[in-house]
Amino acid sequence: MVRAGGIDLGGTKIEATAFDSDWAMVETKRIPTPQDSYENLVDALCEMVIWLEETAGSKGLPVGVGIPGFHSKRTGKFLTANLLASGRTVHQDLIDKLGRAVAFENDCNCFALSEAMLGAGRSYASVFGLIVGTGVGGGYCSNGTLISGLNGAAGEYGHLGIPYMTIKELGLDGIQCGCGRTGCFETYLAGPGMRRLAKHVIGKDVDAQTITTAAAAGDPQMQEVMRIWARIAAELVAALQCTVDPDCIVLGGGLSKIPNIDRIISEALSDHLLDQTEPPEIRVAEYGDSSGTRGAALAAVQNYEILEEAS
């Protein structure tokens, strides 16, 4: 029996998954993300909601959508990259077109909720889901509840600034980030950032896969790139400790697939956290790419429970 459905809206594909009562995947469908018009994007989302209802045999199925970006609680408008949705009221437009409730959540929050409730962070009270891939983002879940904030931007630690003393000590340049700010963690921690570090250390343009493979094989130059990268990652964990102080940090995204990435970051923490404090557990996500749809479905169930209690 299908319990809920989750939809992961990305820049290139829309993925919908139906989950059973044990949160196992029942069926999944993928379609390309429309790139020609906003109206077609909303229609595609409607198509996926209807498919989930038909798969479940229930029009009342809890359905959630994970979307990259933020939305204003005051205006309902979204700010998102790589989608024809910025400045549009995607959530309300979808509800109006379907004539039913649909939960909406930031995609990083969906990842965090999935891993906190069912994945690598399920044994911990407070979990930060940290996605490190093409960009750096995250979500924070405390006792099974997402903390999203006014704009849904809570957890966007990739857009905090790297400490000045770290930049100075490592001799790095302040790089302008895609968010418009300069010196964000994302500019050196994300995949393209690791490439920048290689250029800085060895003067060569080398991709993240080559860096990590060569470092694991004992290449001293690539090991130095990884050491600096881990140092910057440790500074980000220190920022997390001084703000939300999570019990556990679960890693997702492309760079989470680096062999022993949890150990690499954990070993770098000792010189960067507050004295005599316990470091958070660093874990790798259990559900990987499927965390987006599972987290969206979880958010839908939680949303429906709240509505039922209020009625």
Domain coordinates in residue numbering, the chain = 2-106, 120-285
CB 293 within 8 A of CB 6: yes
pLDDT at position 307 is 45
**Rounded average pLDDT over 54-76:** 90
Cα dist from 287 to 61, 259, 301, whole Å: 23, 16, 19
- In this predicted structure, the answer to whether residue 201 has a pLDDT above a threshold of 80 is yes
pTM of the model as a whole: 0.92
Determine the CATH number of domain 120-285: 3.30.420.40
Longest dimension (CA), the chain: 63
Residues 6+ apart with CB under 8 A from 168: none
pLDDT band at 263 (very low <50, low <70, confident <90, very high): very high
pLDDT band at 8 (very low <50, low <70, confident <90, very high): very high
- In this predicted structure, the answer to whether residue 5 has a pLDDT above a threshold of 60 is yes
pLDDT at position 17 is 97
pLDDT at position 71 is 81
Q: Give the mean pLDDT of the chain.
A: 92
CB 126 within 8 A of CB 140: yes
- In this predicted structure, the answer to whether residue 51 has a pLDDT above a threshold of 50 is yes
The third-level CATH classification (topology) of the domain covering 2-106 is Nucleotidyltransferase; domain 5 (3.30.420)
pLDDT at position 127 is 98
Q: pLDDT tens digits, residue range 122-141?
A: 999 999 999 999 889 999 99
pLDDT band at 80 (very low <50, low <70, confident <90, very high): confident
Cα dist from 42 to 18, 65, 72, 138, whole Å: 20, 12, 19, 25
